Amino acid sequence: METKLTRSRSNKMIAGVCGGLAQQFNIDANLLRVLFVLAAIFLQFGWLIYAALWLLLPYEDGGPTGFDSLKNQFGSPNSN
Say what the pTM is: 0.77
* 44: DSSP letter: S
pLDDT in tens, 30-59: 999 999 999 999 998 888 999 999 999 998
32 vs 3, residue with greater confidence? 32
Predicted confidence at residue 3, as pLDDT, reads 74
Q: Are 55 and 3 in contact (CB under 8 A)?
A: no
Q: How confident is the model at residue 73 (pLDDT cuts 50, 70, 90)?
A: confident
Predicted confidence at residue 80, as pLDDT, reads 47
Task: Evaluate if residue 72 carries a pLDDT over 90.
Answer: no
Q: Are 4 and 11 in contact (CB under 8 A)?
A: no
